[in-house]
Structure 1
Amino acid sequence: MTTKRNPEPVDVVIVGAGAGGATAAKVLTEAGLKVVGLERGPWLKPEHASGDELKYLNRNFIWQDPKLKPRTYRQNDQEEAVITNFSATPQVVGGGTTHWGGMVPRMAESDFKLRSLHGDVPGASLVDWPITYDELEPYYTRVEWEFGTSGLAGANKWEAWRSRGYPTKPSPLSQIGRTFATAMAKMGHSTFPMPQGMVTEPYRGREPFSENGFWQQYPDPGTGKSSTLISFIPDAIATGRYDLRSDCYVSEILVGSDGRATGVRYQDEDGDEFVQYAEAVIVCGGGIETPRLLLMSTSSLFPDGLGNGSGMVGKNATFHQYSFSVGLFDKEIHDPLYGWAGHYMSLCSFDFYETDESRGHILGSLIFPSMIGHPINWSFPGRPSWGPAAKDADRDFFNHSMKIGMLLHDMPVESNRVDLDPNVKDAWGLPVARITHTPHANDFAHERWQVAKNGEILEAAGASKVIPVNMERITGNTSHELGTARMGDDPSTSVVDRWCRSHEVPNLYVFDASFFPTATGINPALTIMANAWRCADRILQVDRHDWKKR
């Protein structure tokens, strides 16, 4: 490794180019600020994308390689942490929006005030958000129209008010979606088209997506799937004020003697080390890598990690475990479901989202149907793993199976956290993230109730066999990492303020899902982007004038 001449200082350096980082880059550069983006992974081009299942699902093409970038996990402080690929997350330009299924429902109004609704829950650290749905709504709308989304306004009877509909219509129902809708109606429940991060008709020079099941976990070679890679990043680059550098690994956020951030230290793809100086630093590494970076950034002013005087960095981690019920259908009775044809997830329901304490738990989740899996990796509990029996199972059930899934609305618990493993280092010699997590009792109650309900829906759909797939522990199987740099008004119990600015470092910001005070029962990406836009507006209107006074 050699140290070369440092690049010129800029207004803002952003660590990460996913949902939060790319949104901030677009807003700030379009307003005239000079921004450098540092992304840990590569910059994929359309020719890198395909439906190659082995490449994307089995060979770590966009997923972090656990041999180079391991993480460790333990359930509690008494256990020895073990190396595991916990919450495998794409580290590429575009971040999780390159691989995602594109689910973009809005948060419910109740999500912002869970402590007011439920009080102090024993063993949990439930809080209200310091902002409301009304404050975020204009930014939800901006993202939906600038990013490119599809949906049907008013179709979700549980949705809060919205100032505008969706820019493109919903995707056509798949056979799995129709089966789900029929069963839900039979049981007296409602469904609505899944709001999606994609365009279903020509929109701003983009063409609609290819309607096939090879969507989740795959980059899109076209322009149908909305990702920051093909939307906000090109917008920012077009300004001439966004310098995005891929394959750059940030190891430290630097601070001056006045306690303000001065920039970041990073290595480029050749292993050369640089310091990028800036007036402000925005961290968007995700709910595991962001606290890791803050904790690695120690100094005489911040011996316990940057912005960690409260000791709250890394705490209150939540991960949205995905659980589901599988339904197998008799091919002699039912038409094929053809999960690989039609969009991956075209329908969903909010009927079980709001709290109903008669279920034996509080909180709830979005539910949605999908195919079980792609041809090589598809499976279900009890499926033979080899020989004629495995082939028979493939013939009988690959086109006659589906699942109904849920995202766990997991409780924040202060002791569930991300910190630095004292014993394990990555390929660059830096301490890896250690995850300590035990689900709250409400998590188990919620998950088991909803998976059982999903099984009832499959039975109503005519499944001859229903198989529940329940969690035993949190594995990070959604790549959703939330809550580890909690937003709040009280510096003693949170890491950033209502503008996602560090309570202790006035020009340091966190714009990924680390800021979430509590989890939700939906995918976080739309809220990450809307909040990043909201906070970037605040930077432009207020904060940047303070930077220039120094």
Structure 2
Amino acid sequence: MSKNTDFDLIVIGAGLGGSAITWALRNSNLRIAVLDRGGPLKQEAENWDPDEVLKKRRYDTTEVWYDEQDQPFTPRVYYNYGGSSKFFGGSAFRLRERDFISHRFPDGETIDWPITYNILSPYYDIAEKQMHVHGSAHADPSEPPRGKYPHSPLEHEKSIEWLSQRIEMQGLHPFALPSAVHQGDGGHCQKGSPCDGFPCKIRAKFDGENAFLRPALRENKTISMFPHTRVLQILHNSNGTRVTVVKAVNTQGEQISLSAGIVVLCAGAVQSAALLLASVSERYPHGLGNASDQVGRNFMSHNNTVLMALSPFRKNPTWFQKTMAFNDFYADGGNVQMRGKILHQNLERSGTFLMRKFSRFIAERSFDFWVMSEDLPDEQNRVELRDDGSIRLSRKLNNLKTHKQFVKQIKRILHKAGLPIIIERPPSPSAIQHQVGTLRMGDNPETSVVAPDGRTHELENLYVADASIFPSSAAVNPSLTIAANALRVADSILKTYSKS
């Protein structure tokens, strides 16, 4: 751990956004410090052990949050370099052009982003190259304008190719899912190893750490890392226009105070909001940068339904299942994609006796899907702090009419494809794998927290570069957009730094 306490720039959080912005600024001559609540995840045999990961929850947090009824729950979040991207399945979608524009659903509407797809597009190009994204351009009918992918698409295994053909026969357009798993085309992924929901033991999955942080640290040996360090508060100057000091504590109980000319908040949608709410002062009695009372509001995390579709007479021996998606109903429903292959260890934790009893039978036969719809912004879906400083996450599911109709539609398609039995796991308020929102980006300081350039409206040197800035959730995985936007914010910082 660095002994320096004075830096040009401090990054709080080494997840996907924090790792990407650190990489983008690696050659800037800025003295950079990166603080993370976790540290590097050990490459070990247990990375790929389903019993360790799924049953014993080896890498899960033990932290307890509370829902709107003050009932405790343990969130599915990870504190390590790369953050939750360490456990993602590799899906690397761009937002559609329509995702940046307000649109209506039967149960509500989204809002405009203050930037357009065209602004973010060149940063998507950089992010895809750095994350070694595989894909097939123009195969997805909802895809925005783009060039070639950096790598050729992942190949379907035999059973997935069979299913893709059966879906295509219904007039639909299944395509190769864009993936940051470097498999084939010079990659070193070992098929047969667990992937979706597991860390990659051989670093073939280009999560935040592998794609951005490790390359940045290799190129710039002066970046100071502060692992296992929890940030407690951000302090500001006397008139409340600039942040000045980041106060933190490490696992040894050592109190740390760091100063910097620029601070970039990248702790994730929940923790970034929680940190600003904890940073109270006479100038900001309701939390740092929270004069608008928008900090923590508009939490979103997608409506995700898992479908396990099977025929009792057909096994699915696929090793790597997450290679197919289709977006034919994106505008009115959302995205459908294969998820990582369900294992019997997944089902042995089920609350249903029959699922546990027949876990191996189901796992050997199921074709497993994410069916994903938008979660609409709602001010009452929010992050707050309880009196003891713990997190309260209030969330009421919305846009369910659209989502339920969409799920029914997909089930009919899978039935026609020859999979008569479908087991459904519906959305849950406590499922927060795709958390976004809480520090909305916008032009109006009264209804947003962050300006379009990534800077908070009220503090001229406090930036945010994680998923908390999303004004809407869209209906595709947020990972690639988090990285691309962090690269865009880095350019904004460089322009400001060069002037000063």
The bucket for the TM-score relative to the shorter chain is over 0.9
Which runs of structure 2 are paired with 1:90-129 in the superposition (5 Å)? Answer: 90-114=78-102, 117-118=103-104, 124=108, 126-129=110-113
| Pairwise CA distance, 1:406 | 1.3
Task: Find the counterpart in structure 2 of residue 489 from structure 1.
Answer: 443
Task: Find the counterpart in structure 1 of residue 54 from structure 2.
Answer: 57
Q: Secondary structure at the match of 1:36?
A: strand
Task: Find the counterpart in structure 2 of residue 366 from structure 1.
Answer: 335
Q: Secondary structure at the match of 1:30?
A: coil
The CA RMSD over aligned residues, in Å, is 2.2
Task: Find the counterpart in structure 1 of residue 26 from structure 2.
Answer: 29
Task: Find the counterpart in structure 1 of residue 181 from structure 2.
Answer: 198
In structure 2, distance between residues paired with 1:531 and 1:81: 34
Aligned partners of 2:152 and 2:185 also within 8 Å = no
Task: Find the counterpart in structure 2 of residue 248 from structure 1.
Answer: 229
| Pairwise CA distance, 1:177 | 2.4
State which of 476, 479, 498 in structure 1 corresponds to 2:431: 476
Q: Secondary structure at the match of 1:137?
A: helix
Aligned partners of 1:49 and 1:218 also within 8 Å = no
| Pairwise CA distance, 1:18 | 0.9
The percent identity for this pair of structures is 28
Aligned partners of 2:264 and 2:463 also within 8 Å = yes
Aligned partners of 1:307 and 1:495 also within 8 Å = yes
Letter in 2 for 1:452: K
Structure 2 unaligned spans of 5+: none
In structure 2, distance between residues paired with 1:8 and 1:42: 19
Q: Deviations over 1:255-279 (max 9, x none)?
A: 1113211131111121100101111
- The size of the alignment, in residue pairs, is 497
| Pairwise CA distance, 1:210 | 1.5
Task: Find the counterpart in structure 2 of residue 274 from structure 1.
Answer: 256
Out of 31-40 and 461-470, give the one that drifted further.
461-470
- Do structure 1's residue 463 and structure 2's residue 419 form an aligned pair? yes
- CA 1:54–1:275: 2 relative to 1, 3 Å: same
Q: Deviations over 1:490-529 (max 9, x none)?
A: 0000000001110001100111100001111011010011
Aligned partners of 1:264 and 1:275 also within 8 Å = yes
Q: Deviations over 1:295-338 (max 9, x none)?
A: 0001111111000000000011111132033223122xx3x212
- Do structure 1's residue 540 and structure 2's residue 498 form an aligned pair? no
- CA 1:497–1:536: 2 relative to 1, 3 Å: same
In structure 2, distance between residues paired with 1:126 and 1:272: 44
State which of 167, 174, 190 in structure 1 corresponds to 2:157: 174
- Do structure 1's residue 408 and structure 2's residue 373 form an aligned pair? yes
TM-score with structure 2 length normalisation? 0.94
| Pairwise CA distance, 1:354 | 1.1
Aligned partners of 1:263 and 1:280 also within 8 Å = no
In structure 2, distance between residues paired with 1:459 and 1:487: 42
State which of 258, 262, 269 in structure 1 corresponds to 2:239: 258
- CA 1:495–1:186: 2 relative to 1, 3 Å: same
In structure 2, distance between residues paired with 1:125 and 1:9: 45
- CA 1:383–1:165: 2 relative to 1, 3 Å: farther
Structure 1 unaligned spans of 5+: 75-79, 356-363, 426-430
In structure 2, distance between residues paired with 1:444 and 1:344: 27
State which of 385, 388, 395 in structure 2 corresponds to 1:437: 395
- Do structure 1's residue 85 and structure 2's residue 101 form an aligned pair? no
Aligned partners of 1:368 and 1:405 also within 8 Å = yes
- CA 1:371–1:292: 2 relative to 1, 3 Å: closer
- Do structure 1's residue 228 and structure 2's residue 208 form an aligned pair? yes
Which runs of structure 2 are paired with 1:134-533 in the superposition (5 Å)? Answer: 134-162=118-146, 164-201=147-184, 207-212=187-192, 214-237=194-217, 238-259=219-240, 260-331=242-313, 334=314, 336-339=315-318, 341=319, 343-355=320-332, 364-370=333-339, 373-378=342-347, 384=354, 390=357, 393-394=358-359, 396-422=361-387, 425=388, 431-440=389-398, 443-471=399-427, 473-477=428-432, 479-533=433-487
- CA 1:123–1:457: 2 relative to 1, 3 Å: closer
In structure 1, distance between residues paired with 2:330 and 2:449: 28
| Pairwise CA distance, 1:174 | 2.6
Q: Secondary structure at the match of 1:25?
A: helix
- CA 1:55–1:281: 2 relative to 1, 3 Å: same
In structure 2, distance between residues paired with 1:48 and 1:39: 24
Q: Secondary structure at the match of 1:189?
A: coil
Out of 449-458 and 393-402, give the one that drifted further.
393-402
